[in-house]
Amino acid sequence: MCSNSTTGSNIYLPHLATVEEIIDETPDVRTLRLVFQDEQLRNSFSFRAGQFAEYSAFGAGESTFCIASSPTRTGYIECCFRSVGRVTEALRRLEVGDSMGVRGPYGNSFPIEQFFGKNLVFVAGGIALPPLRTLIWNCLDLREKFADITIVYGARSEADLVYKRELQEWQQRSDVRLVKTVDPGGNGPEWDGKVGFVPTILEETAPAAENTIALVCGPPIMIKFTLPVLEKLGFTDEQVYTTLENRMKCGLGKCGRCNVGNVYVCKDGPVFTAAQVKAMPAEF
């Protein structure tokens, strides 16, 4: 295995992890299940839903993604990414058994304890399901702590839906309501979900705002049209949570690029309430 000479003081030094499993979610979106090579770390690594990590393909560099698996599932972590650049292309070239780097967990997290006893409505679009999927499983694994759970998830087409096996599982469970949708024209002959944009479908299917927390992740255009729908449904900005994504390098509050105004997404985020987001300058 890899015995490394480390002083423990280098905050930029990644942990080594082995790719244990590769799952293709869509033609260009891939999940990697990773196991830390250091046995002690494998057993002790813990994080909270919403936190992110810096994943490295050596020779290509590091990329920032959320930890997409649930903190309740221990022994491994998962990341999920679309291949769009140098690092993600290199991560895509990794095979089962290959080594990669992981630094983290970084950033804040969803205040899950504050959601106990409440209804939850998850609203996600496309590739933005992973940052909520960590919390969805976290909540499902502590199911009795929450009231009704609704998941509204949409993508451009059936092919663009990620975590298809889990969508099926959620659909079959009686203790969670899944509403899946694809944009008009994105449905094939077998499609058993809704057809329409996420904000529209949310308006038709959302639970009452009272005692409910909404967790929203999606492309900026989806967020833009979803927030007014939630407001119309009676959600206050404190009842709505989202995560912000910005280009990052260090993840540690040093390198200076992920700020939105004086808010550093890597340290103050990535999880924010809609109230916090609305207080930020429009620079994201």
Token pair in block for residue 215: 């967790």
Is residue 254 a contact residue for other proteins (CB under 8 A)? yes
Amino acid in the structure at residue 1: M
Token pair in block for residue 197: 């944009």
Mask for 202-221, x = binds other proteins (CB under 8 A): ------------------x-
Instruction: Kindly indicate which of the ranges 54-62, 114-122, 142-150, 170-178 contains the residues binding other proteins, using the contact rule CB under 8 A.
Output: 54-62
- What gap in Å lies between CA 28 and CA 157, rounded to an integer? 14
Q: Given candidates 62, 181, 216, 277, which one binds other proteins under the rule CB under 8 A? A: 62
Instruction: Kindly indicate which of the ranges 144-152, 175-183, 198-206, 253-261 contains the residues binding other proteins, using the contact rule CB under 8 A.
Output: 253-261
Which residue, 142, 67, 111, is CA-closest to 213?
A: 111
Is residue 4 a contact residue for other proteins (CB under 8 A)? yes
Q: Given candidates 197, 218, 245, 277, which one binds other proteins under the rule CB under 8 A? A: 245
Respond yes or no on whether the N-terminal peptide bond of residue 270 is cis (omega within 30° of 0).
yes
User: Are residues 70 and 16 in contact, defined by beta-carbon separation less than 8 angstroms?
Assistant: no
Strand 15-26 vs strand 61-66: parallel, antiparallel, or unpaired?
unpaired
- Site residues for other proteins, 7-46, by CB under 8 A, read 7, 9-14, 16, 18
Q: Given candidates 186, 196, 207, 253, which one binds other proteins under the rule CB under 8 A? A: 253
Quickly tell me which residue has 């491994």 as its tokens.
Answer: 76
Instruction: Kindly indicate which of the ranges 139-147, 148-156, 165-173, 245-253 contains the residues binding other proteins, using the contact rule CB under 8 A.
Output: 245-253
Nearer to other proteins, 235 or 264 (CB): 264
Token pair in block for residue 46: 């813990």
105: Cβ–Cβ under 8 A, 6 or more apart, which residues? 47, 48, 51, 52, 53, 67
Rounded to a whole number of angstroms, the minimum distance from the CB of residue 124 to other proteins is 16
* 3-state SS class at 94: coil
Binding site for other proteins (CB under 8 A): 1-2, 4-7, 9-14, 16, 18, 56-63, 84-85, 88, 90, 95, 97-101, 220, 245-247, 249-250, 252-262, 267, 281-284
